[in-house]
Structure 1
Amino acid sequence: MFNANEPPAGLSRRTLLRAGLSGAAALALAGCAPEPRFLSPTSSAVRDIEAARQATGALTKVALKAAVTTVDLAGTPAATWAYGPLPAPTIRLRQGDALEATLTNELPDPTTIHWHGLALRNDMDGVPNLTQAPVAAGAAFKYRFTAPDPGTYWFHSHVGTQLDRGLYGALIVEDPNEPLAYDEEWVVIVDDWLDGVTTTPPQVLDELSQGMGSMTGMSDGPMRMGNTLMGATSDALGGDAGDVYYPHYLINGRPSGDPETYQSSPGRRVRVRLINAGSDTAFRIALTSHELTVTHTDGFPVTPTTTDAILVGMGERYDFIVTLSDGAFALIAEAEGKQDRAVAIVRTAAGTSPPPDGDTPELTGRVLTADQLVAVDSAQLPNRPVDREITVRLRGGMKQYDWSMDYNSFDLSDPMAKPYSVSSGERVAVKFVNTTTMWHPMHLHGHTFQLARGGARKDTSIVLPNRTLTVHFDANNPGRWLTHCHNLYHGEAGMMGVLAYLD
């Protein structure tokens, strides 16, 4: 099994010694091995791929100002950072259109924008010190790229813990040949929130980084200890559900005390585009008295699958269609294992709104996860042999808060220290081996992968504790791409790595 962090077998010290070389000669020869060269984000290969994309010639221009602001959470003011309202206004364009997004940074710190899920050009991916220099306070940066694939995507800051503020929004790439039949569309972004209410995200990371020592596993249920939540468990997630205490959970920027109301009519077919922008929380999504028909995940179509609820990890997206009944109903986003929820109201008639804490049998009915889905024929990767296998071992734990990939605690100040190597044109298999007792939503930038045996096409997928997830992707988008756990605090503690194309 290929692992970029192990020395090539032909130059290992043991191999050289068996060939009769002295230890000194072996080390000298190993030290002379040429360093691999990797494509840069501004290489001609990146420009050529962008030029070859099928483009419509249309251009959508948007302006995004990252600034300090205050949001109202059902009467609780929360000082935060955002692109204006919470969430940012949805950006829409069609497949093949170009997006020109000008980011103006009025924050006190540097920032960037990552366009989550898009197989875009590498130098527009928004990872500081890897694909671009961070945008300094008071400066501006213009992102411009072609949107290659239709689907539900989103954008967010990729600097430090800024994602756990209000710096996010939806990006919808519409299909000019949309095969789905529906009457309306509703973009739903769920989030966990603490910024400006109990603490700030940097303070949470500082607290977590001290480690939990012998306190892990002490609670029989969710119990707050500072900004840490002990005892939040989920059978669906294999045990520990999450470790950060959040005073609020939001749907489209609003807590249950001030819920959003979606107004429609009985019999209307609504396409819901669901995005989990949370940092430490999986959500179980259900609409009271309705079934949900899942049609897409992470932007790509699947064989329509009917369910009562969906379990969505951080960074994941699901599209589903629901035919609305007559009345008022609750869209529930239950914080998995944390015994709290966000609520929005769906109304097709007059009457009393359902209580936010009412019984929801759908939440304990059929619960859909990505492994139950099958990609439609047009979304299947072509059948071909694997050219390269990469094993990524996820390591660490809450005791020391030492999350990593293959013991390499990632540092964005030196992102190319130990990359995983691929070559253009290869079919690559990645084995995410979770050696930890927590679940990890693993995200690959710049590509979509396919789950085993014709499963769904995704860019973010849950890896359960002590389990292995194998995914396949085609190396057809050259550059240097981050792969990481989309639990923000795991990633910032070191569970990140770089997948780099050889020059």
Structure 2
Amino acid sequence: MHRNARRPGPTLTRRRFVAGLGAAAAASLLGPRAARAAYALKSPGEATVPVTTAYDLVVARGTTDVSGAVTAANTINGGTPGPTLRWREGSVVTLNVRNEMPEVTGLHWHGIILPNDMDGVPGLEFAGIAPGESYQYRFPVLQSGTYWYHSHMGYQEQKGLYGALIIDPAGRDFVEVDRDYVVMLSDWTDEDPEDIQNKTKYQSDYYNFGKRTVTSFFADVERSGLAPVMKERFHENGSRMDPSGLEAPSGDTYTYLMNGLPPDRNWTALFRPGERVRLRFINASAATYYDVRIPGLDMRVVNVHGNDVVPVAVDQFRIGVAETYDVVVRPTADRAFTIYAEDLGRSGFARGTLAPRDGMQAEIPAHDPRPLRSMADMGMQGMMGKDQIGASYPDGSRIGGIMGERSAEVTGKRNLGKLAGRQPVAKLPDGVALDDTGVEVQMAPKTITDRTRTPGDGLNFLPRRELSFSDLRSVLPAVDDRPPTRTITLKLTGNMQRMIWGFDGKKYTEVAPIDVTVGERFRLVMINETMMTHPIHLHGMWMELENGQGRHRPYLHTLSVQPSERLSALVTPVATGQWPLHCHILYHFEAGMFRTVRVLPREA
């Protein structure tokens, strides 16, 4: 079965890969690019990460103590995260991966355009790497920017199989800086991820320790009046969606990491006052969105998903699971600054320090209010009171406590309750397996809107410059400006009570692949009928987000689709084979939010 795992991948050149695609498809494969210059990627106390075309990677079991207790982990070359890989655009890379774990594995190169059998997804056109076996990935590098790599097998990614991937441009860099750092965010749990999946499936609020209380009810009444609040609570009960249920699990289960270190170990990046510093943020989490800020510094977003954008000045940005955002800062003061990444539910944070000298720290900022989804966020505008028009609002019962509460507990966790005090998950009925229930639609929103100008739940009321999808403008115009010949529409559906997720109310096993053709131009429309944000990743091709920027629309590999939102993107397939389209929240993917896009060759 795994004979393919012992055979090295085919020898590929850039010419062979691009040949036969046609001008439009080949151009779309490359994406827009600007003139660029080489730079050095450095970390404190480390030499420059070299540009290399050949790597030997060993995947194995190991241990970690990031939570404070020694526990089992998956490692790459003995560590988690794995080593930072640095390639150069225009080269051909060879990666020899040996599997020393007791189960099949495979590494996926997230956001990289490559041949299908190099994509690293076991079960499609790649058998995976069997225990004790090796596989050689070999492919041309046709792009540049910030990316990452991770396991695409079961729950291996959650337990440590991921690393950063930086690709230097072939020419001059659009972004010129003095220092360059990777800032990789991730969520770690000592629990077995499969246990987490089971718990949320049969008790969806198992990890929600911030549910609203009697105190919050009276705070809401004081803010909006009794009638609107009663109406809102009534419809929340009908939809079975707790507005505080923004993510699962949360900080009571997770330790949030920055470059593999918990908050109390304070990852540090050095600078000299006046230098321009590039920070390459990568969200390698299994299930966590972060709001990122550096109090005291302006951030300019210069690159998104590996592609240059016109710089956008922000105070804070939200980074979805699997996304990458590059920002440039220029600290002029001879002092430390906190790099602060707070989870969406305000249950914890990752943090590091930007400092002129090692050993320095800055104050950790206060927690933001925990956001609650309004009826507008959930597409229920017709059920709202007049004071609720708009978007998410802070939890009234916690504004005083949180806004005045320092995050100086450098464990990065808020005390919302302890797992030890939770009631056990109800026993599964006899004869019921985890996959017995289909992906039925629980309650569809009444209103679907374009939310590209909305930075995200809970951010509209904060006095900060927030980044939204509508701000993203590619430096260069799109290289393929053909109109689409057809539209493919997918509805994001699910059952919040059972944590069952899918597309169009169907399980992956119930639908045929979505067939498209190499070089075809189509519009992909995604409509989120659930009440959670989903980061949808399409392998093997770019999604050109239609965000009002015309030909300067951004090229993205992962689209965060907010509740009750309609997003559309233009796509040109460039390589044949079966390519996954899925939610990148690991527990949603494993619960069924997965489809296959089958790219067929063009007819002669």
**Equivalent position amino acid for 1:128 in 2:** P
| SS in structure 2 at match of 1:73 | coil
Give 1:49's aligned residue: 17
Tell me whether 399-408 or 238-247 shows the greater mean CA deviation.
238-247
Is structure 2 residue 523 aligned with structure 1 residue 429? yes
Q: How many Å separate the matches in 2 of 1:348 and 1:490?
A: 41
Q: How many Å separate the matches in 2 of 1:322 and 1:341?
A: 21
Q: How many Å separate the matches in 2 of 1:500 and 1:405?
A: 16
**Equivalent position amino acid for 1:301 in 2:** D
Distance 1:336 1:96, change over 3 A: same
**Equivalent position amino acid for 2:304 in 1:** T
Is structure 2 residue 201 aligned with structure 1 residue 209? yes
Q: How many Å separate the matches in 1 of 2:179 and 2:555?
A: 25
| SS in structure 1 at match of 2:256 | strand
Shift of 1:82: 1.5
Q: How many Å separate the matches in 1 of 2:575 and 2:358?
A: 51
Q: How many Å separate the matches in 1 of 2:105 and 2:466?
A: 37
Distance 1:137 1:388, change over 3 A: same
Q: Which runs of 5+ in 1 are unaligned?
A: 1-40, 222-230, 232-237
Q: How many Å separate the matches in 2 of 1:214 and 1:190?
A: 24
Is structure 2 residue 280 aligned with structure 1 residue 186? no
Q: For each residue in 1:392-444, what CA deviation from the matched residue of structure 2 results, as whole angstroms up to 9, or x when unmatched?
A: 11110221222011223125xx9xx5111111111111001111111101111
Distance 1:395 1:359, change over 3 A: closer
* Contact kept in structure 1, 2:52 and 2:86, CA below 8 Å: no
Give 2:246's aligned residue: 241
* Contact kept in structure 1, 2:212 and 2:244, CA below 8 Å: no
Shift of 1:388: 2.2
Q: 1:312 aligns with which of 309, 319, 325?
A: 319
Distance 1:214 1:96, change over 3 A: closer
Give 1:502's aligned residue: 600
Q: For each residue in 1:70-110, what CA deviation from the matched residue of structure 2 results, as whole angstroms up to 9, or x when unmatched?
A: 12316432321111222111100110111111111111211
Give 1:276's aligned residue: 283
* Contact kept in structure 1, 2:284 and 2:322, CA below 8 Å: yes
Shift of 1:265: 0.9
Q: 2:503 aligns with which of 388, 393, 405?
A: 405
**Equivalent position amino acid for 2:127 in 1:** A
* Contact kept in structure 2, 1:214 and 1:399, CA below 8 Å: no
**Equivalent position amino acid for 1:418 in 2:** A
**Equivalent position amino acid for 2:583 in 1:** C
- Whichever structure has more strand as a proportion of its residues is 1
**Structure 1 residues 155-174: aligned runs within 5 Å:** 155-174=149-168
**Equivalent position amino acid for 1:366 in 2:** R
Q: How many Å separate the matches in 2 of 1:427 and 1:239?
A: 40
| SS in structure 2 at match of 1:88 | coil
**Equivalent position amino acid for 1:460 in 2:** T
Q: For each residue in 1:21-47, what CA deviation from the matched residue of structure 2 results, as whole angstroms up to 9, or x when unmatched?
A: xxxxxxxxxxxxxxxxxxxx99x9x99
| SS in structure 2 at match of 1:324 | coil
Give 1:446's aligned residue: 540
Distance 1:213 1:305, change over 3 A: closer
Distance 1:465 1:140, change over 3 A: same
- The share of aligned pairs that are identical, in percent, is 33
Give 1:9's aligned residue: none
Is structure 2 residue 473 aligned with structure 1 residue 374? yes
* Contact kept in structure 1, 2:201 and 2:497, CA below 8 Å: no
* Contact kept in structure 2, 1:249 and 1:342, CA below 8 Å: yes
* Contact kept in structure 1, 2:244 and 2:345, CA below 8 Å: no
Q: How many Å separate the matches in 2 of 1:349 and 1:126?
A: 41
Shift of 1:213: 8.7
Q: How many Å separate the matches in 2 of 1:437 and 1:355?
A: 35
Distance 1:494 1:370, change over 3 A: same
* Contact kept in structure 2, 1:328 and 1:351, CA below 8 Å: no
Is structure 2 residue 98 aligned with structure 1 residue 98? no
Shift of 1:127: 1.0
Q: 1:332 aligns with which of 330, 340, 346?
A: 340
Is structure 2 residue 57 aligned with structure 1 residue 64? yes
Distance 1:496 1:276, change over 3 A: same
| SS in structure 2 at match of 1:107 | coil
Distance 1:185 1:219, change over 3 A: same
Shift of 1:473: 1.4
Shift of 1:176: 2.3
Q: How many Å separate the matches in 2 of 1:255 and 1:124?
A: 33
**Equivalent position amino acid for 2:103 in 1:** D
Q: 1:296 aligns with which of 283, 300, 303?
A: 303
| SS in structure 2 at match of 1:394 | strand
**Equivalent position amino acid for 1:187 in 2:** V
Shift of 1:477: 2.4
Distance 1:352 1:271, change over 3 A: closer
Shift of 1:239: 6.8
* Contact kept in structure 1, 2:295 and 2:365, CA below 8 Å: no
| SS in structure 1 at match of 2:470 | helix
| SS in structure 1 at match of 2:568 | strand
Is structure 2 residue 584 aligned with structure 1 residue 486? yes
TM-score, with length taken from structure 2? 0.68
* Contact kept in structure 2, 1:275 and 1:317, CA below 8 Å: yes
Distance 1:99 1:366, change over 3 A: same
Shift of 1:381: 4.2
TM-score, with length taken from structure 1? 0.81
Shift of 1:382: 2.5
